[in-house]
Amino acid sequence: MSTVSQETKCQRCGYEEGYHEFQTRTSEEYFMCRRCGHQIRYEISNWDNQKYKSGQKKGQRRKSWEPKYRTETIVPVASYSLKTKEALGRQLGPVPTSKDLENFRANVKERGDELTLAKITYLCDEGKNLGKWVEEDLLENKVKLLKQ
């Protein structure tokens, strides 16, 4: 039988507190890493074969049916965390491309007075933190090395 991992540890960066969601109605599963923004979505692709289409057993579930999963993976360049002054919670999400990262930085500069938190996390590709996960505070212009 095909199964989907319910592990909350990220396959990309190893962070152990990822967000995992299971949809009971559709049996879809979704994982997002809070650190790097890596996303995986598991969706059953063979729902059409689950039940008999004709004959005496039409509409009944096939005993031999096993779900087959289609996997969609998004590997972003960074993840973000934002909080506005009026908000109770914060927003988390991926930054898919380098162009999106440039736009995100520009947006934070424009809206800086509305924000209480604006951080991005990414795998550093230059300097003393090369190849390590870092968190950059865009409001305070500080970069912090994250635990591996």
Rounded Cα–Cα distance for residues 19 and 81 (Å): 14
Residue 104 host element (H or E):
helix 98-110
Both tokens of residue 101? 């990262």
Rounded Cα–Cα distance for residues 44 and 28 (Å): 7
Beta-carbon contacts of 54 under 8 Å, excluding residues fewer than 6 positions away, are none
pLDDT digits (tens, 9 = 90+) for 100-135: 999 999 999 999 999 999 999 998 888 888 888 999
Beta-carbon contacts of 49 under 8 Å, excluding residues fewer than 6 positions away, are 62, 65
Do the beta carbons of residue 45 and residue 28 sit within 8 Å?
no
pLDDT digits (tens, 9 = 90+) for 60-72: 888 888 888 889 8
Count Cβ atoms within 10 A of the Cβ of residue 99 and give its class: 0-12 exposed, 13-18 middle, 19 or more buried: exposed
Nearest to 94 by CA among 111, 77, 117: 77
Residue 1 pLDDT exceeds 60? no
Residue 28 pLDDT exceeds 90? no
pLDDT digits (tens, 9 = 90+) for 82-103: 999 989 999 988 999 999 999 9
Residue 3 pLDDT exceeds 50? no
Determine the pLDDT at residue 5.
52
Determine the pLDDT at residue 2.
43
